Amino acid sequence: MQATKAIVQNIDKPTQADIDAWKEKHGDIRKLGVANTDYYCIVFKPGRKELSYANSTEGDAFTWNESLLKTVWLGGSPEILTNEHLFLSICAQLLPLVKAQESYMEKL
């Protein structure tokens, strides 16, 4: 998936075959859900290209979140993109999604 393209097609009730195909294409995929509801989305872990695209969007943190979410979105409840409360709930999970593996430095 190219980072410059937003959601091409939403699969709101993905099958195991859809999930397997996404895993094959993207590797690490995650299900992000809104607590105490049936709303969720399935996203792939963003790489440099997706993060670079999100960082290139002008605006505030909400614009960044929306850009990133649309870029890594694979399927789920489309209401998350249109309902402010659902969107904000899912945004809380985006930063942990992009957390990189810890690194270290040592003097040689």
- Per-residue pLDDT of the chain in tens (108 residues, 90 and over written 9): 334 445 556 778 889 999 999 999 999 999 999 999 999 999 999 988 888 888 888 778 888 899 999 999 999 999 999 999 999 999 999 888 887 778 889 999
* Domains in the chain: boundaries: 28-98
Report the C-alpha gap between 25 and 103 in whole angstroms: 26
Angle, helix 61-72 to helix 84-91, in steps of 10 degrees: 80
Instruction: Render 48-75 in DSSP notation, one character per residue.
Output: HHHHHHHHHS-S-HHHHHHHHHHHHEEE
The predicted structure's pLDDT at residue 4: 40
The predicted structure's pLDDT at residue 53: 86
The predicted structure's pLDDT at residue 7: 53
The predicted structure's pLDDT at residue 102: 83
Cα end-to-end span (Å), the chain: 40
User: In the sheet that 29-33 helps form, which strands lie side by side, from edge to edge?
Assistant: 29-33, 40-44, 73-76
